[in-house]
Amino acid sequence: MSKWEMVRLGDVCEIVSGTTPSTNKPEFWDGNIKWITPAEISNSSYFIYETERHITEKAGLKSMPAGTVLLSSRAPIGKVAIAGEPMCCNQGFKNLICSDKIHNRYLYRYLKNQTEYLNSLGRGATFKEISKTIVENIKIPLPPLHIQKKIADVLDRVNALIEKRKAQIEKLDLLVKSQFIQMFGDPITNPMGWECVDLETVCTKITDGEHVTPSRTTEGIFLLSARNILSHRIDVTDVDFIDESEYERISKRIIPSTGDILISCSGSVGRVARITDDTRYQMVRSVAILQLTNEIDSVFVEYCFDTNYMQTQIWKSVNQSSQANLFQGKIRKLKIPLPPLHLQNQFAAFVEQVEAQKAHMKHGLELMELEYKSLMQKCFSGDIFL
């Protein structure tokens, strides 16, 4: 329970919705009035100064003033930003024009912390949406205005440190890609003249998973699908499981092990992740696995898949019938450069050093994010006075 007064958003803000001008009337479009959609707001959005599309005065829409808190009300619910310029919006918003009782940056920070709650308020059979009435009735803790500004300032500073740390981690990823090009050249032009071979010639096995019915449990052996294969990372936050007997049955055909390369082969095609520990995995048909010969380094192969050279080959090989699918036969014929193994090993050692640094920075980031959440709770509950 907050020590601050709890008030309805409708009592301290004007809630405004948007609309989409008719796309059949070209005179409504390509003017100088900014017009935004929820797709233009990311998790890191703060002040928005520009929009992808613009409308004309003939569209007849009234612009929201600069400083309006933008809140997406469907597909998805809970994206938040602040309009840095006057702008209009489509019908995917329920926006908040702040009165002199509430500071917009304070409201932004509060709503950013309420995504789960906002989604719980969604109504509708086809897709969830929060109505104007629902938003008006949301209650928010309201400290004095000068305290609101101080809370916003403190949270802004801490969040800036978090974003800086994220940017540092992203730069490490770019560093690895840069090192790859420096050592091996761009595979498209192949300036160093490396031999290019079919992928199957440097693999002892290329196969995919099986049709498997997951166990109806939340424990067991990880059963990976394409959604679990992210860029250089196996994500098990939303994963299925199989029991020991099913694992043993599938393992008669293949046993995924350290150093193997996993490829997403359905939907979002072409993401790769390397197995880096002795965790036991099995896969469904939407994941392919490469088990490599000792002629090629698995880290080199993993990062080679990041290049435009490999990704272009993949998308030329994809079956686009109903959803994108990359089949084993196409994977076998992908061309890959084959520089000397000692250079591949040097690159792998460089990646290992960068990954160790990145792991250290990620741990620090996790601690910062936990502290930020704790600080928010204290600020909004009134347990901390600034």
CB 60 within 8 Å of CB 111: no
Angle at 231 between CA 292 and CA 188, to 5 degrees: 70
Q: What is the pLDDT of residues 101-137, one digit of tens each?
A: 999 999 999 999 999 999 999 998 778 899 999 999 9
pLDDT of residue 88: 97
Query: Helix count (H) and strand count (E) of the chain?
Result: 10, 21
5-142 CATH, one of 3.90.220.20, 3.40.50.720, 2.60.40.10, 3.40.50.300: 3.90.220.20
Residue 385's pLDDT band, with cuts at 50, 70 and 90, is: low
Residue 224's pLDDT band, with cuts at 50, 70 and 90, is: very high
CATH of domain 195-337: 3.90.220.20
Q: What is the pLDDT of residues 194-209, one digit of tens each?
A: 999 999 999 999 999 8
CB 54 within 8 Å of CB 107: no
Topology match between the domains 5-142 and 148-189+339-386: no
CB 121 within 8 Å of CB 114: no
Number of Cα atoms under 13 Å in the Cβ half of residue 299? 20
CB 232 within 8 Å of CB 254: no
**What is the CATH topology of the domain spanning 148-189+339-386?**
Helix Hairpins (1.10.287)
pLDDT of residue 386: 54
Containing H/E element for 368? helix 341-381
Domain edges within the chain: 5-142, 148-189+339-386, 195-337
Measuring CA to CA, how many Å separate 288 from each of 193, 206, 229, 345, 356? 29, 7, 10, 24, 27
Angle at 160 between CA 156 and CA 166, to 5 degrees: 145
Helix (H, G, I), strand (E, B) or coil at 327: coil
- Sorted by sequence, the CB contacts under 8 Å of residue 271 that are 6+ apart come out as 226, 229, 230, 231, 263, 264
Alpha carbons 267 and 277: distance in angstroms, whole number: 26
Runs of H (alpha helix) within 121-219: 132-137, 145-184
* pTM of structure: 0.80
Q: Whole-angstrom distance between the N-terminal and C-terminal Cα of the chain?
A: 19
